[in-house]
Every structure is written in structure tokens, then in C-alpha cells.
Amino acid sequence: MFFKNQVVSRRGFFIVLVTTVLAVRRGIAEQAHLEVSKVVSNGTNATRVLMRYSPLNTLWRIETSSDLSKTNSWARSINATNIVRGQSQGLGFVRFDIPTSTNSLFVRSVLVTNANITVTTNNYPVPASGETLFMAMENLMLSVPLFTFVKKAPKHPTLGEFILGVNGETEAGGSHWTLDINGKEATVGSSQYVPKIGDEIEWRLENRNN
């Protein structure tokens, strides 16, 4: 397997074209081509990213950084689910405008092979291996010491497990942990949902008394 990440730097009004080959699996090259330029979109300075990718059934996300000298400076800018639903220019060709406040922005494409759990500002990749979200969270707690959760006991006979706390924050005063999947409130619980590649899963502590 061959992995390679290349970074595009956008400066001024120049357009840069880059080809990023991220992996070769089972003899199939998975790749993304980025064109990056500076534009004004809806009156706001933005970085325009045009991305061609193949094969068409692969999922990608776009990450940006304004300062590569900083540790862990890459931030998720466009998630895989947004790319699938993005402004399509044709099969395997999408366009995004990212609001930009700095003179230089670094952009990279990342092949998505997992689902992702977000709790506040923390991201935790989990495999889409056919196990339920609750089982994936149990395994995550064993491998990532900073990730913790508390469940209600006993387990509900039909609805399954109820999550009462995540990463040390528990429900209190009318607040409840809410599960969102790909930007929408989940209709099933964590012990019933099976994560898929590219899923963006978020736990939010929501006060429903407001």
C-alpha cells in the first residue's frame, strides 16, 4: 500500500493544480486532483477548491491549515458527507468555496476510510466494520483513554442503551445528550445504529428547557 499526502498552497490569485495519490488498494489507485484559487464569494474572500476524484465510490474530506509550523494545525473544512452532497460539477467533480481570513491557506484532500465521532471539538475515527455505534464506542474507550462515556443501567429492553454522559459531562438540569448522524438527529439509538464509511456522528449536550 502506498500513501502520499501533497499540500496545495494558495497565494494571491494564482491557481495551483495538484494530483494527490493517497492509496493503492487491491490494484486500484484512489486519487484526488485539486485546483485552488482565491475568489470573492457573496462579498466575502474565499478559497475555491475544485476537486476531481476517482474511483467514484470513494469518499474524501478536505482539510485546511493557515500555519503548517504549528502541531496539529490541520482542521476539517469539508467533510465526506458534504462532498457527496456538494455542488457537483459532474461525476467525481465537486466545487467548494471556503471563507478565508488569512493571506495564505494550505489545502489537502484526505481519503476517508472510517466513520467519525465528534464530541465538542474532539474527533474520534471509528471503523465501519459492521458493529453498532455503541460497540464502537466501547472499543474506542479501551483504546483512547481520554474518551469516556456513562450509560444508563439497566439496558432498555427495546430501545437499547441510553448514554448519560460523555467525556466527563453528564446530563443535569434538563440537559440531554443528543445523537446526530450526518447533520440530522438520529432516529435510532447508539446500540441500534451501525456506522458507515464517511458518517459524521456527533454527540451534543442539549438543554431542551430553553
**1 band by pLDDT with thresholds 50, 70 and 90:** very low
Q: Helix or strand or coil: residue 157? A: coil
The per-residue pLDDT for range 138-180, each reduced to its tens digit, is 999 999 988 999 998 777 877 788 899 999 888 877 788 999 9
- CATH 2.170.130.30 range(s) for the chain read 115-207
DSSP run (H or E) holding 116 = strand 115-119
The per-residue pLDDT for range 55-80, each reduced to its tens digit, is 888 888 888 888 888 877 888 888 77
DSSP run (H or E) holding 130 = none
**14 band by pLDDT with thresholds 50, 70 and 90:** very low
* 208 Cβ contact list (under 8 Å, min separation 6): 174, 175, 176
pTM value? 0.73
Pairing of strands 163-166, 149-151: antiparallel
The per-residue pLDDT for range 82-127, each reduced to its tens digit, is 776 555 666 788 888 888 876 677 888 888 889 999 998 889 999 9
Structural class in CATH, domain 115-207: mainly beta
Which among 168, 167, 175 is positioned nearest to 208, based on CA atoms? 175
Q: Residue 202: what pLDDT?
A: 95
